[in-house]
Amino acid sequence: MAEVTELLGAIVTEALDRAKADGLLEGEVPEPTFERPRRKDHGDWATNVALVASAGGNPRSLAEAIVERLPASDIVRSVEVAGPGFLNFHLSPRWLHDIVTRAATEGSGFGRSNIGNGEKVNVEYVSANPTGPVNVVSGRQAAVGDAISSLLEATGHEVTREFYVNDAGRQIELFGESVGARYLQLHGQDAAIPEEGYQGEYLVDLVKELSDGLGDELLNAPADERNKKLGRIALDTMLAQMSATLERFGTTFDVWFSERTLHEAGEVEAALEALRATGRVYENDGAVWFRSSDLGDDKDRVLVRSDGTPTYLSADAAYVLDKFGRGFERLLYLWGPDHHGSIVRFLAAVESLGLERDRVEVSIVQVVSLMRGGEAVKSSKRAGSIVPLEQLIDDVGPDAARYIFLQRSMEAPLDFDLDLAREQAPENPVFYVQYAHARICSILRKAADEGVAAVDATSAPLERLEHGSEDDLMRALATYEDVIPEAAYKRAPQRVTNYIEELASTFSSFYRDCKVVTEDADLTAARLALCVATKNVIADALSLLGVSAPERM
RNA sequence: GCGCCCGUAGCUCAGCUGGAUAGAGCAUCGGACUUCUAAUCCGAGGGUCGGGGGUUCGAAUCCCUCCGGGCGCGCCA
């Protein structure tokens, strides 16, 4: 939280206490909240606390009473009551200078806060089946998961980034059978990929790669053993490829969590026991069912199939217990659109297990449609689920891909304009923002070339910043301290992209109006400090998004 | 049919733990380069915030309802 609002909060609270002592206020004294009004003539900061506190009374007269009782403060220039009862504060420009100084000073923690209070958060995302290359939809999940994780870290949470590896179950068997078939085909034998198996060409290449190290000893092994062994090796290779792709995309995980270990360690069985203990488990048709319909689900769900194999729901139950068992206080799940239907049953299981449901947040990261020339690529609404992420990175680069993935709220389907993403022009927001950063670097280089002393933000005569464009830019910087907590709280990285675009635009106007490096040494020093502050904020915001901030373009 | 998501400018979308005159980009139109990056900037037009009800001092935001679109509703993942 910005330092100004703490200060304002203190004096308004004091005034409220006095008003209460004078009998003008009934009930609890509310905590005042502050916002930056849209309109400039509504002051620098405003609070609606009188509207909140008057509860049926007259908000305006309460507001007047608050103003009369405000203790003196050297940062507040004037306060007025406006509209239905807002308190509008006009502040000394010093609060903006303080913003510039802090933003320009490395390590000041500008934009950082500790509202998370060290809460241990597990963010699980991507978690794509390790049976094929990472696709574009997973890429969107990676970008969103990374950004949300970074935002949580920036607001004082202790974050673990986790990838759940679905390395158990029927899909993995099918994968092994598919690999086995490709292996036999490679060795000139007639073999068919199972109908439900993985037909993709990538397995041909994968098997080719593997076979160098394998020789042909598996050719004569029993099919079951061959498929299992090949499947295991192929899966490890696939995972390594996925990891490499994600790394190229700028995503690294703290934990790759194997589903298989849940089964092997008996955690799935333990979770089933725990569910049984709730009395919401019964048998029917030889299968074990969970009475999720008690907890908002349409119908009951199978936990153990009649052939004795557990469903994903069972593993998910074990997994959520495991996560809490590892000491996490909050769990974020980012699931793909195909898991839409399983949220309710999963949360029902969470609740049944006696876990706090509101510590478990499940969000869907929606589909991506790649657009080229105004048309959906491959005439498929879901192009994103079949196009490899590698291809997108080759096409537009990791920065543009990440940025565009983050521009929209994750719950909304995304139209990804490939033409725009590739464009090196201001129409492309990624380049627009990066360009502003590079331009500032260019100014700083110019200053250095001309022998101007390095910026000392603490001593720069910031009172020389009097131009309207300078004022706008300082105010834009101040907003950063509100944007980061809000974006983190809402799990909304698009707030950050919106913000940087606005900041970059405000900077561009400043650039037009105010020449930085001039004969006027004081003014130059002040403007350079403003430039450094802006550069830091752009770079910091981009780094939260996992997008680079180039020094030149 | 049930559940979730979406419906805001011509297009793509922000804004939605209620706040003062609803925003951006693209597109359209009109301007600005002897300048630290014109890879830019300035201006203009463009809106029943899907419709209707309700709660509130105040609703794009919350509630109800209807309409339209997407997705999900397997002993698949």
> For the segment A171-190, what is each residue's pLDDT rounded down to a tens digit?
899 999 999 999 999 999 99
Give the integer Cα–Cα distance in Å for A379 and A392: 17
Residue A378 is predicted with a pLDDT of: 63
A369 closest-nt by C1' vs CA: B12
Owner of token pair 């890429």: A139
Which architecture, in CATH terms, is A4-91?
2-Layer Sandwich (3.30)
Q: Is A379's pLDDT higher than 80?
A: no
Residue A381 is predicted with a pLDDT of: 42
Residue A214 is predicted with a pLDDT of: 79
Instruction: Establish whether the CB of A71 is closer than 7 Å to any nucleic acid atom in strand B.
Output: no
Instruction: Establish whether the CB of A435 is closer than 7 Å to any nucleic acid atom in strand B.
Output: yes
Instruction: Establish whether the CB of A357 is closer than 7 Å to any nucleic acid atom in strand B.
Output: no
pLDDT band at A56 (very low <50, low <70, confident <90, very high): low
Instruction: Establish whether the CB of A515 is closer than 7 Å to any nucleic acid atom in strand B.
Output: yes
Instruction: Establish whether the CB of A307 is closer than 7 Å to any nucleic acid atom in strand B.
Output: yes
CB A10: neighbour CB atoms within 10 A? 13
In Å, what is the separation between the CA of A490 and the C1' of B61? Answer: 15
Instruction: Give the predicted TM-score (pTM) of the model.
Output: 0.94
Which architecture, in CATH terms, is A426-545?
Orthogonal Bundle (1.10)
Give the integer Cα–Cα distance in Å for A453 and A111: 27
> Interior CA angle at A448 toward A443 and A451, to 5°?
130
Q: Is A153's pLDDT higher than 50?
A: yes
Three-state secondary-structure class, residue A273: helix
> For the segment A474-507, what is each residue's pLDDT rounded down to a tens digit?
999 999 998 999 999 999 999 999 999 999 999 9
Residue A37 is predicted with a pLDDT of: 87
Give the integer Cα–Cα distance in Å for A420 and A439: 21
Instruction: Establish whether the CB of A430 is closer than 7 Å to any nucleic acid atom in strand B.
Output: no
Give domain limits for chain A: 4-91, 174-248, 426-545
| Exposure on the CB side of residue A115, measured as CA atoms within 13 A | 17
Using CA atoms of A51, A52, A57, A62 in order, give the dihedral in degrees to the nearest 10: -60
Residue A51 is predicted with a pLDDT of: 87
* Span A237-265, average pLDDT: 95
In Å, what is the separation between the CA of A303 and the C1' of B13? Answer: 41
